[in-house]
Structure 1
Amino acid sequence: MLGLFSASVVMAQANKPVATTADGDKAAVESEDGIPVTDRLTIEKCGACHQQDEKGNMSRISWARTTPEGWSQAIKRMVRLNGLEITPDESRAVVKYLSTWHGLAPEEARPVMYLPEKRIVDEALIPNDSVRQACAACHAFAQPMSWRRSKTEWKLLQDLHVALYSQAEAQYRRPADPQPGAAPSAPGTPPVTNGQLALEFMQKAAPLHTVEWGNWRPRIRTPYLAGKWLVSAHLPGRGDYVGELTVAPGKSADEFVTGATLRSLSTGETLTRAGTGLVYGGYSWRGRSKGATPGAAPDDPNRETRETMWFAPDQKSGEGRWFWGEYNEFGFDVALTRAGTEPAILGVGPVLLKAGAKGAQVRIVGANLPSDLKPAEISLGEGVTVTRIVSASAGEAVVTADVAANAVPGRHDIGIRGATLAQALPVYAAIDYLKVVPETGLARLGGVKHPKGYGQFEALGYGNGADGKPGTPDDVKIGPVDVTWSIDEFMAVYNDDDKDFVGALSANALFTPASEGPNPNRRFGRNNYGEVWVVATAKTEKDKFGQPLTGRAYLVVTVPAYQRWDQPEVSQ
């Protein structure tokens, strides 16, 4: 079992102590304590190449920790490059063991969950352009940040990249940009390279032994997730949902059977879903579920989804994404809270409260809510006064409220007898600008020989905040705004008219790309790829000049992904 840990690409390193292995290869000697491997199957499958020492450490494996996806990727590489023979069931068992006892602590995994959740995000983890060029030119930076390694292992990983990928050496050897405030190098000093800076950063930012892992390792236990969970979810293009998730024990202690009921706060539509889940490391959920009658529409929320969720160490809350689509472009953003007997607030009906409004109706959805509510028992934040209880039941309270002219703008907390939903109720004086999200989108042509990759957009209203300037950290996210949608030309190539060929945008901002392949109706018979603006125009909100507010997002429509990498076997 070699590959990611292959001795065939591990050469003696300058300034590193080395030892000779049984087959005569040179390998770097570890100076850090390893994590012993105790699983019989892992030892059996990996031990032929990864020798075990007197402490139970297996070479290479004992000095690395990662996610289920990381270990699955490593095993695939062993099979591909080094002839490892392992069955799917054996592979899953090894991944389960390594993800638990050679995995990440929940606090280490949470910042990089967007990678297994298949989100497209602007990565905030990258410290500078040198590290970006060295580590994120070919894959997400969350890929290396999903690992913890000894210093020696981080250096060997760089060597592996140089051995396997021709472009890696050029990336690593490229001189780094001068760091802000750094003194100039002395004449004749070799330039610091991107590879050096990246290695130093990873050795410090993602070491093998951390406080988080030290605290988590003795707490690892069998997940106890069976029971009822309260669900708050958002589906771009369709709005907010609330409901319940029932989790029942499955075939083994870390496998579960699920049933969910979700209700749209916008339309009242009810969805029912059934599925299964598998938990790695006591907290990391991978599963699948589908609706009772999955439809044919690409954005149908009843379609089969993959589920990736992170559960808090106390197993009282969880969060994640239930996603689908050929490019994982559709998905619910999900938050879970373990159901109890106390009141809980899950969401608020689609409402934006404007300063000075009188008699505004607010629908609060939850569980175990008191039916004998009085106006004074409901808090909607400073400047918002509940004037009347329209109706109250265990699942919903409808109230009317007055908003003071000087009410504090922002997203207010909602409170009912000790239950709180933070930052749930938007209060605003004015909508100053629109933001179309995602601000940068990617769609892929298809429909003939390859599947289409769709794009889903939303228009959100924002207030400028205390500084009066748009696009600054104190801006107030108000919420969805009623808009009309259109596509406009992005002026990249003269006279290419991309907007006429790339695809179409629906009334709810679902972009459907055109077909792949040459188009005889297009100049030079080109493919339907191109770059466009996705434009939202507010129906009622105006700017200071009396013109409708507008916002736009940049969309690239490109060719199909002809080759893809994935680890679906990690999921149920």
Structure 2
Amino acid sequence: MALSNNNSKRAALGTGVLALAGLVSAPLMAQDAQQIIRDRCLACHTETGTADAPSFSRISEQRKTPEGWHMTLNRMIHLRDLQISTEEKRALVKYLSDTQGLAPEETEGYRYLLEQDTNLVETGIEPGLAEMCARCHSGARFTLQRRSEQEWKYLVDFHMGQFPTTELHSLARDRQWFEIARNDTAGQLAKQFPLHTKAWSNWKAADKSDLMGRWRVTGYVPGKGEFDAWMSAAKTANGKYDLTLEGHYADGEVLEGSGKATVYTGYEWRASLTIDGVKMRQVMAADKAGNTLEGRMFMAAEREIGGDLMAVRDQGTADLVALSPSYLRVGESTEITLVGQNLNGDIDLGEGVTVEKIVSRSKDRITVIAKASGAEGLRSPRVGKAVHNAGLAVYEELARVEVSPANAVTRIGGADGNMPKVRASYRAIGYSAGADGQAGTDDDIRLGYMPASWSIKPADEVAAHDKDDKYAGMINAAGIFVPGDAGPNTARKMDANNVGRLTVVASVEDGSSQVSGEGSMLVSVQDFVRRVLD
């Protein structure tokens, strides 16, 4: 694989993605997990309730994602000297996620944190919570929790006990932070993110689908490109699976991998695989029917290097899952690959689109040469009974290009130091202007990811004066940015290090013209807080 297989162990504090796909040596029942709590936790916590419905102080009053529970146990281990084996820890994360997790609706809009897709600027956080909580945490951090009001107050108390300088920080020292947080903010959090919700009650009562079987998978690996594959999930225990992955990248190169997956809360898929010799992680969510998985796959050693991932269960019916590319320029003959399963019957790419030649065809992959005429717009390709709604965009002219991510942070490193470089991966998204002919409006048609030429330039006059584009790093042909070395650089003014502020430029060829888009890049210092806790 073209990606660097960096074996250094790096992960965000408490995210737990590296451990959540591990297997417990033997499947444990709920009673076993409860007994682990009694054996390992009751030195500090207390048990109430009944034998049939036990309750544990400070535990039963919370609901969290698998990563949230993993973080809690890590904190108990490292701050409270909890003695617990890896097998017991995994069993508790599984049990607590299944019995005190979040419903699918409760994670919507914030899954980027679970998927480790963190090069983005959060929006929509309530101003009060942004000032009191999101000045240190991501908004998704507290949004992906549910607590009783008393537990939210206890959380404020914990902050003051564990981090007494909190009141001296920016946006805290100009107000009575503790009083506001405990008397006002805790109540607001309890109303917005309560312990008891209808969504969770309904999900607990719902029948959960077993996710074993064959899955048609499509995704993207930076440095390798788009791929399609078959993933087989063989059940080994409750919510646990052995995985095999076989497929091809868009250039025809073979993709092979194997690993293990654990499903939490009935829909939270966490997998650890080795693909073409590189350790990868999958974080996906199943739909309520259990027939579709969507999320992200990324390198275990570098969570920033990853891409979208989708899997559709093979139910014996015809499914058209994806098209590559997902756009067709009017008047041009283009090779398009249709990916799916049980693809039998006539090929119809939509109004005004002619299939000029079938290059290759099987039941799960068809490559054709197609040409479009007529008006711009979205088409719904069809193969027999399989339809991909609005899956093909027909356009006349590329109007604008977006760079994704729009904002990113990378970090210098290496140079014989203990902290590796933190890279970033970019993609270009094309748009046509739509019916109004004005680029940048709601009428624009998203064409999809497009091949681009990549370059960097200084973000402003100061960055140009400091020659940040010369020292801060470089971007390769695949859109992967590699920051500079850590440590002082004698070639820079005052022997400064290689941090900098850059603009990342994607240039896309469209007929005889070229359209460019820009993204923002901050090349920063090492993150000395970031470490592995498991």
TM-score by length of 2: 0.84
Q: Which runs of structure 2 are paired with 1:341-352 in the superposition (5 Å)?
A: 341-350=316-325, 352=327
What code does the residue aligned with 1:367 have?
Q
Q: Which runs of structure 2 are paired with 1:62-461 in the superposition (5 Å)?
A: 62-122=60-120, 126-169=124-167, 198-219=185-206, 224-236=210-222, 238-250=224-236, 252-265=237-250, 267-292=251-276, 294=277, 303-324=278-299, 326-350=301-325, 352-355=327-330, 357=331, 361-370=335-344, 373-374=345-346, 378-386=347-355, 392-399=361-368, 401-405=370-374, 407-410=375-378, 412-448=379-415, 449=417, 450-461=419-430
Would the aligned equivalents of 1:387 and 1:400 in 2 still touch at CA under 8 Å? yes
What code does the residue aligned with 1:487 have?
I
1:297 matched residue in structure 2: none
Q: 1:45 aligns with which of 23, 40, 48?
A: 40
SS for the counterpart of 2:392 is: strand
SS for the counterpart of 2:414 is: coil
Q: Summarize the Cα distance change of 1:164–1:422 in structure 2 as closer, same or farther, 3 Å threshold.
A: farther
2:481 matched residue in structure 1: 511
CA distance, structure 2, for counterparts of residue 518 and residue 254 of structure 1? 50
- Residue 78 of structure 1 and its aligned partner are, at CA, apart by 2.0
- Residue 53 of structure 1 and its aligned partner are, at CA, apart by 2.4
Percent identity over the alignment is: 31
- Residue 37 of structure 1 and its aligned partner are, at CA, apart by 11
CA distance, structure 1, for counterparts of residue 129 and residue 441 of structure 2? 26
Q: Summarize the Cα distance change of 1:482–1:71 in structure 2 as closer, same or farther, 3 Å threshold.
A: closer
Provide Cα deviations, 1:136-168, integer angstroms capped at 9, x if missing partner: 111221111111111221122122222222453
CA distance, structure 2, for counterparts of residue 304 and residue 99 of structure 1? 25
Would the aligned equivalents of 1:173 and 1:195 in 2 still touch at CA under 8 Å? no
- Residue 38 of structure 1 and its aligned partner are, at CA, apart by 8.0
Q: Summarize the Cα distance change of 1:76–1:464 in structure 2 as closer, same or farther, 3 Å threshold.
A: same
Provide Cα deviations, 1:113-136, integer angstroms capped at 9, x if missing partner: 321211125465643333212221
CA distance, structure 2, for counterparts of residue 73 and residue 476 of structure 1? 41
What code does the residue aligned with 1:46 have?
C
CA distance, structure 1, for counterparts of residue 366 and residue 444 of structure 2? 30
CA distance, structure 2, for counterparts of residue 451 and residue 139 of structure 1? 24
- Residue 556 of structure 1 and its aligned partner are, at CA, apart by 1.0
Q: Which runs of structure 2 are paired with 1:523-562 in the superposition (5 Å)?
A: 523-540=493-510, 548-562=514-528
CA distance, structure 1, for counterparts of residue 76 and residue 113 of structure 2? 22
CA distance, structure 2, for counterparts of residue 224 and residue 510 of structure 1? 37
Uncovered stretches (5+) of structure 1, i.e. residues with no partner = 5-35, 177-189, 295-302
SS for the counterpart of 1:39 is: helix
SS for the counterpart of 1:447 is: coil
CA distance, structure 1, for counterparts of residue 474 and residue 121 of structure 2? 29
**Which deviates the most, 55-64 or 233-242?**
233-242
What code does the residue aligned with 2:254 have?
T
Would the aligned equivalents of 1:172 and 1:195 in 2 still touch at CA under 8 Å? no
Would the aligned equivalents of 2:279 and 2:300 in 1 still touch at CA under 8 Å? no
CA distance, structure 2, for counterparts of residue 53 and residue 77 of structure 1? 23
CA distance, structure 2, for counterparts of residue 108 and residue 239 of structure 1? 32
Q: Summarize the Cα distance change of 1:427–1:100 in structure 2 as closer, same or farther, 3 Å threshold.
A: same
Would the aligned equivalents of 1:174 and 1:194 in 2 still touch at CA under 8 Å? no
- Residue 564 of structure 1 and its aligned partner are, at CA, apart by 0.9
Aligned residues between the structures: 496
CA distance, structure 2, for counterparts of residue 218 and residue 312 of structure 1? 16
CA distance, structure 2, for counterparts of residue 198 and residue 125 of structure 1? 19
RMSD: 3.0
2:10 matched residue in structure 1: none
- Residue 501 of structure 1 and its aligned partner are, at CA, apart by 0.6
1:486 matched residue in structure 2: 455
CA distance, structure 1, for counterparts of residue 366 and residue 79 of structure 2? 60
CA distance, structure 2, for counterparts of residue 359 and residue 484 of structure 1? 22
Would the aligned equivalents of 2:122 and 2:139 in 1 still touch at CA under 8 Å? no
Would the aligned equivalents of 1:433 and 1:463 in 2 still touch at CA under 8 Å? yes
TM-score by length of 1: 0.79
CA distance, structure 1, for counterparts of residue 181 and residue 80 of structure 2? 30
What code does the residue aligned with 2:400 have?
Y
SS for the counterpart of 2:504 is: strand
CA distance, structure 2, for counterparts of residue 531 and residue 391 of structure 1? 46
SS for the counterpart of 1:304 is: strand
Provide Cα deviations, 1:302-351, integer angstroms capped at 9, x if missing partner: x1112222222322111222211644111132111111221121322336
Q: Summarize the Cα distance change of 1:174–1:361 in structure 2 as closer, same or farther, 3 Å threshold.
A: same
What code does the residue aligned with 1:364 have?
L
CA distance, structure 2, for counterparts of residue 86 and residue 496 of structure 1? 51
Would the aligned equivalents of 2:119 and 2:407 in 1 still touch at CA under 8 Å? no
- Residue 232 of structure 1 and its aligned partner are, at CA, apart by 1.4
Would the aligned equivalents of 1:502 and 1:528 in 2 still touch at CA under 8 Å? yes
CA distance, structure 2, for counterparts of residue 359 and residue 549 of structure 1? 20
CA distance, structure 1, for counterparts of residue 308 and residue 61 of structure 2? 34
